[in-house]
């Protein structure tokens, strides 16, 4: 039987070696204070485990067992599927439905991933490798089923097995729900990075939270976004592995008592405690036997059930503590428009970092190394500000629980942490009210005040400064109430701070973090341009294009060495190749047209130009400018004769993305897009010349259909507001052209593919402040085309004009913070240039091929290598090396 007993798999990840405290040298960390089940593989095989005596025979047999290769032939795979159907799901071929077949096959894939994960962890333990701990509130991993088959090189075999069961493999792939563990680019970047750490043979894990309902499932009702719970856990999840033996205490509330019994003189007392449990999700790697892992945290609630209250008839009281604990991981980014939401979000973040830091320390202690070597074995990367409390948490544990001096502990902290900044907007930098933090995390607030005090004292000594300078760099903002500036804490507590595109890194050094450059010097601030994994965003989502690249390169080595795709450029004048390239794009557009019909009920012509903007709905991303441009196009078409209309480039303009539940203007933009779509799509005069589509509930699996179908994609944020973007990279890798501003990674993409292959417009980042000033005090006359668009809105064509008046007000004049009115004229000119080029099919194909061939820089493999060399100081090591 081809199935591994799950009670032994991954055992090495959960082991503590319990040793009397007086046997541990003073220079080493104290022994662990908790007992965990399982055995460390290296100790088990050496017969050194102290929890239970194991015979040499059993150790030998286990070693032999775990060293066996898993059979890869179709017969063995089919037998293992039958085994899971029979003994895991109590099914036989006669009563197996599609979901059963998916689960049966998925569990056999999981068996193989867990075997590789066991081998990977054993390998890195054996060489005492440094580990990257990538902390992120989001991991937008999408579906795992197809990605895992491709990574294992078994898609052909599993396709045959599914046919034997009477199912089409593509249908089974659609049975999988997207994991609702993220929302936008931040989470997708984190997922790409864990994939690349595994594929590049680095010892790296992701850490996050296991959200029950995700952010929300987006429904569009009468044009409005309506939030519903995303019940993605309703069915068994083959890709997660519960680890009940790995749990940690996490505290909230209580008070701080001064006591001489601790080195710090303080203890955290009378706190509310929860047990937080680990769930592991293996991340398959292509081209190597390494497997990565994402460890997610969730509260254990059974022990919080009060049986005495239940028996007394107090049912709400009996379950109240369970609900309070469970709710911590209900939703990603709870609405923080009110105080209760803010408190919940702060508790989420601390629960996440506390369990993670404890787990990192637990694993470090297994090495037996002294604390002075902690940073040599541990790298902690903060993905944005959400995990920044980890800095205070590690300092707390070292000082309060490990009896370390403040300076020694702080030296360890600052050598271990690094911080990735993802925003240029000052208002987007996370802050927490001091009274709220003092209530929920009283000890951490005291530690943060001490960190700030020592930091400001250091600055005052090294750089004689005025009080205003110290106020500007203080972690504590002197407002009412005071606020803890989390980005500032991350900078002070990290040895490296990186931006995610060259223009972004330059801007943050010159603007929002300029004072810290004066304090720490420019060497602390580096750039690591984002990237995306070609495993998912070309090889998996675009099999037609993948076949062309494989044919050109000569093998599949490009999948984890994407710069080899530059060979496509050598075929740019090959007539047969050009035709096949065009046919692949048209087939992808037909697939998307089918998806739109099934999802939205709108019929679109796949021969039209597909113009796509899919991303989080936000004012700075300027979906509003896009839909205002659509109205201009609609007005122009309405003035034409039928013959003139048919001569125009036919367009399908596609939007997708979620607004934060409490973001009024963003939600109004969604309603406006749908109202315009209702009018345009039902106008018989317009017909197929122009269609507008809003695809609901945008997610990774939807993106896998949308991205390969793009002719042009819009990345039109106001210059200086987008840190990087990664969807722009995905679209261009798949042969799509960009319409964009000189912002984020657009700049570097233009440098790589050539200015002739990208449509750029708009003001530059250094001009933005001047234009904002002029809009407020010296406005120019409104562009005539934009005024005509406003007149159309006010006429009531798209519904009640009063409802959409806030959008008019925030897109011109003093309210136009994101310069929609300033850039509108150049935006229309860029759209005209797109139309003109699309009419010249041969020129368009040439540019499409050049775009796809020149994107080697923008892989997450390159990004991770940059992190490894410039920030983490870590070397790769393959399991089978």
Partners of 209 in the β-ladder? 297
State residue 25's pLDDT score: 41
- Calculate the CA 622 to chain-centre distance: 21
CB 741 within 8 A of CB 765: no
Q: How far apart are CA 827 and CA 821, in angstroms?
A: 10
Q: How many other C-beta atoms can be found within 10 angstroms of the C-beta atom of residue 461?
A: 9
Q: Which of 583, 554, 556, 586 is nearest to 570 (CA)?
A: 554
Average pLDDT of the segment spanning 78-100: 93
Q: How many other C-beta atoms can be found within 10 angstroms of the C-beta atom of residue 511?
A: 12
Q: Outline where DSSP puts E strands in 507-614.
A: 525-527, 609-614
**Max CA separation in the chain (angstroms):** 92
Prediction pTM value: 0.92
3-state SS, 34-93, equals CCCCCCCHHHHHHCCCCCCCCCHHHHHHHHHHHCCCCCCCHHHHHHHHHHHHHHCCCCCH
Q: Which of 435, 475, 481, 268 is nearest to 354 (CA)?
A: 268
Q: How far apart are CA 55 and CA 10, in angstroms?
A: 20
Read off the pLDDT of residues 34-74 as tens digits, 9 standing for 90 and up. 433 333 444 434 444 444 455 565 666 656 665 667 788 89
Alpha carbon separation from 98 to 109, 168, 322 (Å, rounded): 17, 9, 35
| DSSP secondary structure string for all residues of 730-790 | HHHHTT-EEEEES-TTHHHHHHHH-GGGEEEES--GGGHHHHHHHHHHSPPPPPHHHHHHH
Read off the pLDDT of residues 791-826 as tens digits, 9 standing for 90 and up. 999 999 999 999 999 999 999 999 999 999 999 999
Q: Which of 239, 244, 303 is nearest to 278 (CA)?
A: 244
Partners of 180 in the β-ladder? none
155-164 and 74-87 helices, crossing angle to 10°: 60
Read off the pLDDT of residues 624-645 as tens digits, 9 standing for 90 and up. 999 999 999 999 999 999 999 9
CB 116 within 8 A of CB 287: no
- Whether the per-residue pLDDT at 167 is higher than 70: the answer is yes
Beta-strand relationship, 690-695 and 758-761? unpaired
Read off the pLDDT of residues 400-427 as tens digits, 9 standing for 90 and up. 999 999 999 999 999 999 999 999 988 8
Active site (catalytic) residues: 422, 615-616, 621, 726, 730
- Which three-class secondary structure state does DSSP give residue 117? helix
Q: How far apart are CA 325 and CA 339, in angstroms?
A: 18
Q: Outline where DSSP puts E strands in 440-574.
A: 476-477, 483-485, 497-499, 525-527
Partners of 739 in the β-ladder? 714, 759
Average predicted confidence (pLDDT) for the chain: 91
Segments making up each domain of the chain, as ranges: 1-126+143-176, 534-764+819-859
Average pLDDT of the segment spanning 745-764: 97
| DSSP secondary structure string for all residues of 826-881 | HHHHHHHHHHHHHTSHHHHHHHHHHHHHT-GGGBHHHHHHHHIIIII------TT-
CB 505 within 8 A of CB 499: yes
Read off the pLDDT of residues 348-366 as tens digits, 9 standing for 90 and up. 999 999 999 999 999 999 9
Q: How far apart are CA 467 and CA 702, in angstroms?
A: 52
Structure tokens, 403: 């009896």
Classify the phi-psi angles of 735: left when phi > 0, otherwise alpha if psi is within -120 to 50, otherwise beta. left
- Please give the radius of gyration of the chain, using alpha carbons only, rounded to the nearest integer: 28
Q: How many other C-beta atoms can be found within 10 angstroms of the C-beta atom of residue 240?
A: 18
Structure tokens, 376: 């040599």
Confidence of residue 463 (pLDDT cuts 50, 70, 90): confident
The CATH number of the domain covering residues in 534-764+819-859 = 3.40.50.2000
Q: How many other C-beta atoms can be found within 10 angstroms of the C-beta atom of residue 641?
A: 8
- Whether the per-residue pLDDT at 599 is higher than 60: the answer is yes
Phi, psi of 767 (to 5 degrees): -95, -10
Angle at 156 between CA 155 and CA 157, to 5 degrees: 90
- Whether the per-residue pLDDT at 33 is higher than 80: the answer is no
Considering only 186-200, 463-477, 694-708, 791-805, which range has the smallest mean pLDDT? 463-477
């Amino acid at each position: 039987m081809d199935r591994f007993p799950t009670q032994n798999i991954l055992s090495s990840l959960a082991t503590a070696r319990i040793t009397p405290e007086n046997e541990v040298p003073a220079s080493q960390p104290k022994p662990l204070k908790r007992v965990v089940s399982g055995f460390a593989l290296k100790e088990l095989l050496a017969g050194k485990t102290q929890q239970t005596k194991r015979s040499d025979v059993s150790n030998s047999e286990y070693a032999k067992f775990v060293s066996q290769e898993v059979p890869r032939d179709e017969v063995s795979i089919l037998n293992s599927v039958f085994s899971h159907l029979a003994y895991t799901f109590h099914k036989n071929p006669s009563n197996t439905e599609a979901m059963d077949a998916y689960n049966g096959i998925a569990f056999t894939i999981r068996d193989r991933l867990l075997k590789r994960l066991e081998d990977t962890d054993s390998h890195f333990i054996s060489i005492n490798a440094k580990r990257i701990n990538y902390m992120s509130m989001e991991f937008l991993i999408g579906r795992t089923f197809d990605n895992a088959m491709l990574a294992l090189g078994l898609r052909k075999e599993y396709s045959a097995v599914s046919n034997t069961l009477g199912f089409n493999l593509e249908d089974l792939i659609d049975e999988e729900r997207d994991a609702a563990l993220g929302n936008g680019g931040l989470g997708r970047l984190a997922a790409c990075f864990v994939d690349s750490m595994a594929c590049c043979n680095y010892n790296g894990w992701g850490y996050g939270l296991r959200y029950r309902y995700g952010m929300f499932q987006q429904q569009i009702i009468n044009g409005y976004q309506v939030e519903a719970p995303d019940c993605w856990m309703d069915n068994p999840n083959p890709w997660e592995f519960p680890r009940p033996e790995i749990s940690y205490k996490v505290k909230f509330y209580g008070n701080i008592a001064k006591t001489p019994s601790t080195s710090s003189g303080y203890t955290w007392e009378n706190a509310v405690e929860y047990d937080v449990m680990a769930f592991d999700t293996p991340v398959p790697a292509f081209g190597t036997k390494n497997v990565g892992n994402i460890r997610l945290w969730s509260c254990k609630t059974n022990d919080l059930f009060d049986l005495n209250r239940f028996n007394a008839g107090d049912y709400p009281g009996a379950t109240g503590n369970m609900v309070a604990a469970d709710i911590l991981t209900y939703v990603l980014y709870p609405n923080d428009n009110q105080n209760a939401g803010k408190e919940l979000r702060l508790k989420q973040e601390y629960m996440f970092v506390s369990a993670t830091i404890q787990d990192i320390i637990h694993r470090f202690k297994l090495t037996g190394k002294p604390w002075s070597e902690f940073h040599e074995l541990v790298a902690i990367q903060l993905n944005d500000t959400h995990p920044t409390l980890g800095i205070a948490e590690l300092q707390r544990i070292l000082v309060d629980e490990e009896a370390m001096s403040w300076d020694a502990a702080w030296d360890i902290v600052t050598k271990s942490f690094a911080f990735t900044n993802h925003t240029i907007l000052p208002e987007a930098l996370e802050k927490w009210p001091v009274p709220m933090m003092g209530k929920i995390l009283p000890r951490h607030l005291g530690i943060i005040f001490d960190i700030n005090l020592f930091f400001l004292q250091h600055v005052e000594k090294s750089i004689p400064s005025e009080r205003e300078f110290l106020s500007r760099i203080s972690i504590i903002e002197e407002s009412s109430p005071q606020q803890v500036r989390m980005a500032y804490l991350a900078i002070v507590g990290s040895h490296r701070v990186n931006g995610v595109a060259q223009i972004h890194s330059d801007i943050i050094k010159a603007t929002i973090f300029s004072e810290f450059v004066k304090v720490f010097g420019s060497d602390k601030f580096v750039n690591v341009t984002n990237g995306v994994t070609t495993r998912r965003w070309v090889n998996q989502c675009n099999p037609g294009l993948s076949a062309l690249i494989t044919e050109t390169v000569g093998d599949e080595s490009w999948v984890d060495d994407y710069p080899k795709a530059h060979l496509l450029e050598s075929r740019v004048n090959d007539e047969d190749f050009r035709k096949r390239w065009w046919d692949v794009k048209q087939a992808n557009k037909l697939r998307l047209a089918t998806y739109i019909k099934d999802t939205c009920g709108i019929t679109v012509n796949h021969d039209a130009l597909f113009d796509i903007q899919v991303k989080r709905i936000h004012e700075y991303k300027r979906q509003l400018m896009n839909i205002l441009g659509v109205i201009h196009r609609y007005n122009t078409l309405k003035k034409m004769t039928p013959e003139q209309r048919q001569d125009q480039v036919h367009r399908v303009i596609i939007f997708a993305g979620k607004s934060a539940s409490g973001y009024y203007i963003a939600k109004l933009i969604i309603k406006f897009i749908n109202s315009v779509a209702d009018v345009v799509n039902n106008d018989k005069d317009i017909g197929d010349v122009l269609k507008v589509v809003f695809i609901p509930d945008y997610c990774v699996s939807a993106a896998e259909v949308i991205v390969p179908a793009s002719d042009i994609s819009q990345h039109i944020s106001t210059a200086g507001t987008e840190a990087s973007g990664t969807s722009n990279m995905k679209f261009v890798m798949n042969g799509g052209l960009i319409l964009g501003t000189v912002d984020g990674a657009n700049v570097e993409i233009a440098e790589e593919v050539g200015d002739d292959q990208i449509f750029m417009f708009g003001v530059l980042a250094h001009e933005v402040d001047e234009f904002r000033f002029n809009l407020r005090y010296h406005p120019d006359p409104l562009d005539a085309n934009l005024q005509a668009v406003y007149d159309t809105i006010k006429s009531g064509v798209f519904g009640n004009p009063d409802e959409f008046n806030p959008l008019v007000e925030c897109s011109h004049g003093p309210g136009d913070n994101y310069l929609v009115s300033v850039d509108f004229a150049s935006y229309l000119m860029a759209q005209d240039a797109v139309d003109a080029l699309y009419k010249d099919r041969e020129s368009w194909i040439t540019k499409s091929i050049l775009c796809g061939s020149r994107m080697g820089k923008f892989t997450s493999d390159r990004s991770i290598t940059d992190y490894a060399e410039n920030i983490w100081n870590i070397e790769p090591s393959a399991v089978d090396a």
